[in-house]
């Protein structure tokens, strides 16, 4: 009887340590040319900027929470070009200072977002996403992954996730699937986030913290403010018969 009790205790002890922790490195790839407006200035701008912008990102996760952030690029820069005094082009190639904390257990997300040099803190609840999980599978980073699609009014988002790491989280706030999201594709493939390295290491309690920097604002108010700022920028730089084209990421 004592031997049986000892074996059961050892079994439950082993299960207690079988937690899902890890660090995932992602690469975000954006087709900048595809983001340009379809007008007479687009060809000129294509000659000034690279076709693709790449950014490195990191996701730390446990069973109950995750933290996603951009890695700064020392080679990134900001330039302003002018053509014939009419069209001004402002290009910001650096990744914005963005942090996303997700409380998976309680369905809460906190985002720290930079809007034209001012920091904002967005708190919201995680709304269930209507993902459609398919039967398609592929191997990614040595893990069996499954395809899922999320159809919105603007786009069809494709995700690949692995149930071998059963945490409902992923890059850039994407979540809601029964496994870690290792790849995201949207905007006809012109915006992609791909896991490049998955390290199932232990994550310390101090490594994941909700961001606190910035003015607290709702997601709806932030989107409205973002549209307003972009309109103000257009009016500021686009006077006369010319215009302004901004590319910021």
pLDDT value of residue 236: 63
Q: What are the pLDDT digits (tens) for 170-226?
A: 999 999 999 999 999 999 999 999 999 999 999 998 999 999 999 999 888 998 998
Residue 7 has pLDDT above 50, yes or no: no
Q: What are the pLDDT digits (tens) for 122-168?
A: 999 988 889 999 999 999 888 999 999 999 988 999 999 999 999 99
Residues 131/136/138/143 CA torsion (nearest 10 deg): 50
Give the integer Cα–Cα distance in Å for 184 and 65.
20
CA 184 to chain centre: 9
Backbone torsions φ then ψ of 40, nearest 5 degrees: -70, -20
Q: Identify whether the C-beta of residue 16 lies closer than 8 Å to the C-beta of residue 224.
A: no
Beta strands in the chain (DSSP E): 22-31, 52-61, 65-70, 78-83, 87-92, 99-103, 108-115, 118-125, 132-140, 143-151, 156-162, 180-186, 191-199, 215-217, 243-248
Domains of the chain are: 21-248 (2.50.20)
**Which of 53-57, 184-188, 232-236 is most confident?**
184-188
pTM of the model: 0.79
């Amino acid at each position: 009887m004592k031997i049986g009790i000892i074996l059961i205790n050892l079994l439950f002890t082993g299960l207690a340590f079988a937690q899902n922790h890890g660090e995932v490195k992602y690469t975000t790839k954006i087709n900048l040319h595809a983001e340009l407006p379809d007008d007479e200035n687009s060809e000129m701008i294509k000659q000034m900027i690279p076709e693709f912008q790449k950014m490195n990102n990191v996701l730390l996760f446990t069973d109950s929470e995750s933290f996603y952030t951009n890695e700064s690029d020392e080679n990134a820069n900001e330039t302003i070009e002018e053509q014939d005094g009419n069209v001004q082009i402002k290009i910001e190639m650096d990744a914005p200072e963005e942090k996303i904390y997700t409380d998976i257990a309680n369905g809460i997300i906190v985002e720290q977002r930079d809007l034209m040099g001012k920091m904002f803190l967005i708190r919201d609840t995680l709304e269930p996403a209507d993902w459609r999980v398919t039967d398609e599978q592929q191997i990614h980073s040595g893990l069996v992954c499954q395809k899922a699609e999320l159809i919105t009014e603007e786009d069809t988002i494709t995700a690949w996730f692995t149930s071998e790491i059963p945490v409902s989280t992923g890059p850039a706030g994407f979540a809601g699937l029964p496994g870690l999201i290792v790849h995201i594709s949207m905007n006809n493939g012109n915006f992609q986030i791909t896991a490049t390295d998955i390290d199932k290491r232990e994550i310390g309690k101090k490594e994941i913290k909700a961001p606190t920097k910035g003015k607290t604002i709702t997601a709806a108010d932030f989107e409205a403010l973002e549209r307003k700022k972009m309109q103000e920028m257009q009016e500021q730089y686009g006077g006369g018969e010319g215009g302004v084209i901004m590319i910021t990421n």
